[in-house]
Amino acid sequence: MIEIRNLHATVDGKEILKGIDLTIGPGEVHAIMGPNGSGKSTLSYVLAGRDGYEVTKGSVSFYGEDLLAMEPEERAAAGLFLAFQYPVEIPGVANMTFLKSALNAMRKHRGEGDLDAMQFLKLVREKTRSLNMTDEMLKRAVNVGFSGGEKKRNETLQMAVLEPKFAILDETDSGLDIDALKIVADGVNALRSPERSMLVITHYQRLLNYIVPDHVHVLAHGRIQRSGGKELALELEQKGYKDFGVEEAA
Amino acid sequence: MAATHETVEQVRALAEQKYKYGFTTDIDAETAPKGLNEDIIRFISAKKEEPEWLLQWRLRAFEAWKTMQEPHWPKLDYGPIDYQDAYYYAAPKLKNKPKSLDEVDPELLRTYEKLGIPLKEQAILAGVEGTEGQAPAIAVDAVFDSVSVATTYKAKLEEMGIIFCAISEAVHKCPELVQKYLGSVVPYTDNFFATLNSAAFTDGSFVYIPKGVRCPMELSTYFRINQANTGQFERTLIIADEGSYVSYLEGCTAPQRDENQLHAAVVELVALDNATIKYSTVQNWYPGDANGVGGIYNFVTKRGACRGVNSKISWTQVETGSAITWKYPSCILQGDNSVGEFYSVAITNNRQQADTGTKMIHIGKNTRSTIVSKGISAGRAQQTYRGLVKILPRAEGARNHTQCDSLLIGDQCGAHTVPYIESRNRSARVEHEATTAKISEDQLFYCRQRGLSEEDAVSLIVNGFCKEVLKELPMEFAVEAQKLVGISLEGSVG
Ligand SMILES: Nc1ncnc2c1ncn2[C@@H]1O[C@H](COP(=O)(O)OP(=O)(O)OP(=O)(O)O)[C@@H](O)[C@H]1O
Ligand SMILES: [Mg+2]
């Protein structure tokens, strides 16, 4: 259970989140939609503990623990995963090496031993195949020279390997072609379980046809303005965000 | 930005770097009186029972040295060095020169064990008499202060005609080779530090690979400075005869001491027709503490001569130690179609300073050189890449490619690139690329979000940055070097 209470956060002294309240139960999938610049990515960074995103008020409880008191890597080890809107390139570090370091770091936090090379290879091969990715992508440097869609797929692969308790997907659908969208959505759905919750940030109702959310929220001006079921996404698609005091783009 | 500022703060609050090799060995040593003069040189020469020509060579070097000035062109900042306040000879007291490993003082053996010369080597060291038949991977020459204390696998190599021993021993064993090649690549008048070395060198390794022989194992020298106030002046000479191949590794450490210690080595490589020498260094001398107190002053002259056609010399270095590093492993590409390579990772943290690079001198036709330099600076360290690519008129069709990348951690450190290019042949192609980057907050956060600690993240990112160079290291050293990269940057963030 993730409980966000009256969360306020500033970036460079500017208040971006102005009192977010959100409770996500085990196994639930919540979608957040909202105009550009409304604070969606900011919320995901604050939850993941990024430097420079300062919480000025409020609290976040993560399965009973004070999430905000933890270092980013501790949050990751506790089971929080963020699929980045803009995945980062790490030149010279093979995707495979990165995945292995990440998985073993998590296992260490949890007091488990390293997976041996064979076990790891088996695990990764399985996940790669289910996401229709090639082994060649595992040998390449993390996200370097990946197309926009490949980067998003790579985020999904990491999630599948790390098996988090709570995954935040920040526009994982952006940049995916129609087939890729389906593959990634299938990958995400395969991870749905009664213990695993998700927060799916998207601009497109289309994704929610594949990953059907339990709740949809509208974030605007740093606050959740409205919450509803999956039909809210359809309504937004038709009406846009003008009801929330946001001008339609010219 | 707030985040950047925080990182800077963290860098400022640098934890003292943990140097694992900072212990001293309690062993009886014989030292010559402090300072350098003719008598000391005669003393060293007599200790080694050297022939007259070598003594005279030393003395000529000493005469030359007295007229020379320490170079001041490097971008290095250090106080004056009192050359008369150091010991030029220190040797562990040995009753008899040990003939095999089991005669070596156990205290010395324990030292090398503690240094963790890669475990595989240890197994080999220990297994010299026992594990016969098992394919050995590395033969080791261990140099402790001024003397070589043990060389493994000598006999086995001798069966193939390979000579691998202390240079002081080679002087007796194969005097004509030593006399022919010593100083033939780095003359005794070459530069202040090389000249000092020529006058005062105490020991080092000698390698000769006969015609057509491919050396079946890695040869390796492990240098250890133990004695306080002692300079180490080792001299290495490697000769690869026609059509031969050798891969050679060099490792070094020193105890943690508050005063600076001088290390002025000379390495000469000679590759004849169709011969290849691969020379790898993992340099981890004590770098001094976080405030720049103590550490080794490392002034080294390394040069290889590709004398024969199609010969090749490849330098790979991972430089993480020393308070000061002054070092330009170079290649003289004399033989037609000869190849020179320089792959370098230099890491400076805290107050370390390094002025390092290479020289590629193209003399023969169709000579090719590749330079890949990766410099990483953290803390308040300063680092300079200084490289010279010189194409002489006869070097028709010569080619060089230089890639020079710097990575900065924090904003108190500096990276400088000084490439010199002199081309006197129009058909030559010389390419130079340089980049400077910082470890980005984005990369660090991305790694930490995936569960890596900040230090592991830095180590991973830096290892990625150095990958092109690290992959050139022999397998046995690559893993060690990767770890070292992480350790050297401990405390650079977080
Ligand atoms: N470092 C920063 N300095 C100043 N403003 C910032 C900074 N980072 C984010 N912001 C601002 O915070 C606001 C929220 O940004 P955020 O990235 O959370 O929006 P978003 O809802 O994810 O938008 P999008 O749909 O375009 O991804 C924006 O107005 C953005 O310009
Ligand atoms: Mg966003």
Domain residue extents for chain B: 2-87+162-488
pTM of the predicted model as reported, rounded to 2 decimal places:
0.82
CB contact under 8 A, A92 and B468: yes
Could you tell me the CA-to-CA distances from B192 to A39, B37, B63 in Å, in that order? 63, 16, 12
Q: Given an 8 Å threshold on Cβ–Cβ distance, is A101 in contact with B456?
A: yes
Q: Examine the pLDDT at B98 and tell me if it is beyond 60.
A: no
Which residues pair with residue B407 across a beta bridge?
A: B376, B437
- Residue A100 token pair: 């292995």
Tell whether ligand 1 has an atom less than 6 A from the beta carbon of residue A79.
Answer: no
What per-residue confidence (pLDDT) applies to A117?
A: 83
pLDDT at site B26: 66
Dist. CA A105 → ligand 2 center (Å): 27
pLDDT exceeds 70 at position A130: yes
Distance, in Å, from the CA atom of B342 to the CA atom of B189, rounded to the nearest integer, reads 25
Task: Report pLDDT for B409.
Answer: 86
- Note the pLDDT tens digit of each residue in A97-117: 999 999 999 888 888 888 888
Question: Residue B448: pLDDT above 80?
Answer: yes
The ipTM is 0.95
- B426: burial class by Cβ within 10 Å (0-12, 13-18, 19+)? exposed
Ligand 1 atom closest to the Cα of residue A85 is 27
Q: For position B11, what pLDDT does the model report?
A: 32
Q: What token pair was written down for A170? A: 């920040």
CA dist., res. B133 & res. A80, Å (int)? 53
Q: What is the mean pLDDT of residues B5-20?
A: 39
B461 contacts in chain A (CB < 8 Å): 90, 93
Mutate to test the interface with A, among B440, B447, B470 (most CBs of A within 10 A): B447
pLDDT band at A132 (very low <50, low <70, confident <90, very high): confident
**Per-residue confidence (pLDDT) for residue A240, from 0 to 100:** 83
Helix, strand or coil, per DSSP, at residue A84: coil
* Spatial distance between the Cα atoms of B278 and A245, rounded to a whole number of angstroms: 69
The predicted pLDDT at position B102 comes to 60
pLDDT for B129 equals: 33
Report which residue type is found at B343. Y
pLDDT for B57 equals 96
Determine, for residues B451 and A76 on separate chains, whether the beta-carbon distance falls below 8 Å: yes
Q: Token pair for residue A201?
A: 């940030």
Higher per-residue confidence, B105 vs B347: B347
Q: Smallest CA–CA separation between B311 and chain A, in Å?
A: 30
> Which residue has better confidence, A139 or B18?
A139
Please work out whether the CB of residue A36 comes within 6 Å of at least one atom of ligand 1: yes
- Ligand 1 nearest atom to the CA of residue A43, by list position: 18
Per-residue pLDDT band at B5 (split at 50, 70, 90): very low
Q: From the CB of A49, is ligand 1 less than 6 Å away?
A: no
Q: Do B449 and A72 touch (CB under 8 A)?
A: yes
Chain B CB contacts of A50 under 8 Å are 3, 445
Residue A15, pLDDT above cutoff 90: yes
Is some CB atom of chain B closer than 8 A to the CB atom of A92? yes
Distance A176 CA to ligand 1 centre (A): 22
Min Cα–Cα distance to chain B from A187, Å: 19
pLDDT > 80? residue B255: no
Mean pLDDT of A149-173: 93
Contact flag A90-B6 (C-beta cutoff 8 Å): no
pLDDT at A65 over 90: yes
Quick one: pLDDT at residue B9? Answer: 36
Span A51-73, average pLDDT: 95
Residue B392, C-beta contacts closer than 8 angstroms, at least 6 positions apart: B361, B362, B363, B424, B425
Q: Cβ–Cβ of B443/A162 closer than 8 Å?
A: no
pLDDT over 90 (residue A63): yes
Residues of B within 8 A of A72 (CB-CB) are 445, 448-449
Nearest CB to A12 within list B1, B442, B446? B1
Q: How far apart are CA B28 and CA B92, in angstroms?
A: 6
The residue to mutate among A38, A219, A223, having the most atoms of ligand 1 within 8 angstroms of its beta carbon, is A38
Predicted local distance difference test score (pLDDT) of residue A225: 92
Residue A118 confidence (pLDDT): 87
Residue A41 CA to ligand 2 center (angstroms) comes to 4
Q: Is the pLDDT of residue B128 over 50?
A: no
Q: Does the pLDDT at position B172 exceed 50?
A: yes
* Residue B493 pLDDT class (50, 70, 90 cuts): low
User: What is the second-level CATH architecture of the domain A2-89+162-244?
Assistant: 3-Layer(aba) Sandwich (3.40)
pLDDT band for position B126 (cuts 50, 70, 90):
very low
Q: Specify the 3-state DSSP secondary structure of B93.
A: coil
Q: Are B261 and B225 in contact (CB under 8 A)?
A: yes
- pLDDT for res A219: 95
In angstroms and rounded to an integer, the radius of gyration of the C-alpha atoms of chain A is 18
Average pLDDT taken over every residue of chain B:
81
CB pair distance less than 8 Å for B445 and A50? yes
- How far is B464 from chain A, CA to nearest CA, in Å? 4
Nearest to A44 by CA among A135, A146, A172: A172
pLDDT score, position B104 = 62
Instruction: Pick the more confident residue, B304 or B14.
Output: B304
Structure tokens at B215: 């050396």
Whether B309 shows a pLDDT value over 90: the answer reads yes
Band of the pLDDT at A129, cuts 50, 70, 90?
A: confident
Identify the pLDDT of residue A102.
94
- Are B441 and A93 within 8 A, CB to CB? no
Q: Do B3 and A88 touch (CB under 8 A)?
A: no
Over range B385-411, report the average pLDDT.
93
Residue B19: which pLDDT band, with cuts at 50, 70 and 90? Answer: low
Q: Given a cut of 70, is residue B463 above it in pLDDT?
A: yes
Tell which one of A7, A8, A11 to mutate to probe ligand 1, the residue whose CB is within 8 A of the most ligand atoms: A11
pLDDT of residue B308: 97
Answer whether residue B232 shows pLDDT above 80: no
B446 neighbourhood in chain A, CB within 8 Å: 84, 87-88, 90
Check pLDDT > 50 for residue B333: yes
Give the Cα separation of A37 and A31 in Å (integer).
Answer: 17
Instruction: Please state the rounded mean pLDDT for residues B89-94.
Output: 69
Q: What is the pLDDT of residue B109?
A: 65
**Is 50 exceeded by the pLDDT of residue B2?**
no
- What's the gap in Å between the CA of A156 and the closest CA on chain B? 13
Is the pLDDT confidence value at A33 over 60?
yes
The residues near B470 (Cβ < 8 Å, ≥ 6 apart) are B318, B345, B463, B478, B481, B482, B485
Comparison of pLDDT for B284 and B393, the residue scoring more? B393
What CA–CA distance (Å, rounded) separates A127 from A135?
11
CB pairs < 8 Å spanning A and B: 88
Task: Give the Cα separation of B277 and B289 in Å (integer).
Answer: 35
pLDDT band for position B133 (50/70/90)? Answer: very low
**Segment 24-63 of chain A within 8 Å of chain B by CB:** 48-52, 54
State the pLDDT at residue A90.
94
For the Cβ of A14 lying below 6 angstroms from any atom of ligand 1, the answer is yes
B57-83 pLDDT, tens per residue? 999 999 999 999 988 888 888 888 888
Phi-psi region of A38 (alpha: psi -120 to 50; beta: other; left: phi over 0): alpha
The partner residue sitting opposite B465, judged by closest CB among A51, A72, A91, is A91
